[in-house]
Every structure is written in structure tokens, then in C-alpha cells.
Amino acid sequence: MTWPHRAVVRQALVDLRASPGHDAELVDQAHWGEHVRVLGAEGDWRYVQGEDLYFGWCTRASLYQFTKYGRNAVVTVILAPVRERPAPASAVIAELPCGALVPETRLSTGAGGLVPAPSPLGGWLEVSILGDRGERTGFISGEHVAALVDVPHGYPTPSDLLRTAEAFIGAPYLWGGTTARGMDCSGFVQQVYRLNGLSLPRDADQQATLGTKVEDAAPGDLLFFGAESVTHVALATGARDFLHAPMSGGVVERGQLGGDRTLSAIRRYLPPVPEVGGG
């Protein structure tokens, strides 16, 4: 998981360009006060995604970048059990998916007391969660979360996407699903990108309208399939290899181009510049 820096637009209107330069194609505009995610950098330019999900380049000076992230925690395992009591053997009453934000307000010591949660976290976090029997109090182990300030902040890379995707291998297919308990093809790639700070629409045909069209696949690109319309999406791990949630009864698995699926498009969402560390 990578957590890109957030920023707020500080000019009345900011042009978002297709590439880092004032003469590049205008692809979108961001308004004063709009929040964006900073996904890459080249010189004084920043590659951002705005609230409308479009991507583009703007100058660093047009943004105010946040450097503090409050006292929230984030789930860092595929599924974090919420237990009835702050004890490893206690009954599981719910599960929180990876990436879920947890208010870092109270932490149980397991000895009957609640104290402010430190960072890094330890012990158990108390949460309130709605279940079949109404709202209940539960506890999440500090081993399954991290203080948001401690999560790696920087620009997501193809390697980040692949590591996240591989963690879901074996997850069962579920039409409309978006967690390790079950996910469909578009839900799978959406969550991989979300856990690395990029937002994609829910359906494959919508995802195919964003990003940049490329001819040859590279790791982290999305492959779209369908003869007349987009009917399937996969995450490229190489020029011909990919990971996907294939069909009902299947699981997230590796695949290769060929067979009865017709490749209709390849889209790239990360900036087309050399990978750069956070900043």
C-alpha cells in the first residue's frame, strides 16, 4: 500500500495538461479549494488526480501540499477481524477490508483501561460497528493497522500495484464484490489502484475512458477485453501476462493473452516518467 500526498488547489483556476509543460494539451481544469492526489513529479510539475477522477499535470506552485495526516489509522492487512473483546481468542463479529480508515481515538490495554492510541499502534483499537444485531462495540488488533502518518507516503509505482494485486491471488470471484471475500474483474483492479492512491470508476467500460491509451502493455497497465464493447479487465504484469478475476466459480489468478478473449484497449494511469520517490 502507498499513500500519495494530498494537496489543495490554491489558484482560482488551474489548467491540467497532458504532459508537464505550459504548451501541452489542456485535458482538464481544477478549481480553487479542490483536493487532488499527487501521483508523480517531473521538475516543478506535479501529476495529479482531481475530484472528477481525471489525471493531468500542473505546476507545483499552484498547489498546497498537506504534510500532516491527523490521528487516524488504516487497515494494512487484507481483512482485519473485529473481535467482541480485546483478546486474540475472542469471537469475530466483523471484518474490515484493507485500506479502511479507523478513527485512532481510543486504544484498549486489555486490562480494563482505555488510553490515547500511540503511534506506532499497539494493543487494541475500539470501534463501533453496525451488524445484524444493531450497533456494537468491537476491537481491532494494533497489529492489523498502522497510524496513517506511518504509512509510506510517495508516488505510486508499477511495483506497488503488482505487490498489492498479488496479495489478492486466490480471492473468489463475486459479481459486484470488492474485497478478498469476493471480487469481480473491475472490483479487483479498482481496489488495487485505490490502495495505492488512485481512484477508478467501478465498471470496466468506465475505467477504459480514463488514463492514456498505449499500444504495448507494461506492468501496472489495465488490459480491456471485448469484441464490440468492454466486457472484462485485467491488470498487466508484463507485455503478455496479467492478473484478473476471470469468472463465476473462479479466483483471482494469473493469465496470458490469447484464447477467446479479444484485447480491445490498453490504458495507463501512472505518469509516463521515470519512477521518483516521494516529496
- pLDDT, one tens digit per residue, over 25-53 is 999 999 999 999 999 999 999 999 999 99
- For residue 151, pLDDT over 50 is answered with yes
The CATH label, of 3.40.50.2300, 3.40.1050.10, 3.90.1720.10, 3.30.450.20, for the domain at 158-268 is 3.90.1720.10
Per cent of the chain over pLDDT 90 is 72
The mean per-residue pLDDT over the stretch 150-173 comes to 94
pLDDT score for 161? 97
pLDDT score for 157? 95
> What is the 3-class SS of 35-91, one letter each residue?
EEEEEEEECCEEEEECCCCCEEEEEHHHEEECCCCCCCEEECCCEEEEECCCCCCCC
Sequence letter at residue 139: F
pLDDT score for 62? 97
Residue 11 per-residue DSSP state: S
The mean per-residue pLDDT over the stretch 192-208 comes to 96
Taken as a whole, the chain contains a residue count of 279
List the one residue out of 270, 30, 10 whose CA is nearest residue 155: 270
Select which of 5, 144, 153, 244 is catalytic: 244
Give the domain ranges of the chain.
6-65, 77-149, 158-268
Largest CA distance in the chain: 63
Contacts for 118 with CB less than 8 Å, ≥ 6 apart: 107
The mean per-residue pLDDT over the stretch 183-210 comes to 96
The terminus-to-terminus CA distance of the chain in angstroms comes to: 17
- pLDDT, one tens digit per residue, over 121-147 is 458 888 888 877 788 899 999 899 988
Say if CB 220 and CB 234 are below 8 A apart: no
Select which of 58, 98, 144, 185 is catalytic: 185
- For residue 109, pLDDT over 50 is answered with no
What top-level class would CATH report for the domain 6-65?
mainly beta
Tell me if residue 232 is catalytic.
yes
pLDDT score for 122? 52
Select which of 5, 144, 153, 232 is catalytic: 232
Mean per-residue pLDDT over the chain, rounded: 88
Tell me if residue 185 is catalytic.
yes
pLDDT score for 133? 76
Sequence letter at residue 270: L
Per cent of the chain over pLDDT 70 is 90
pLDDT score for 170? 97
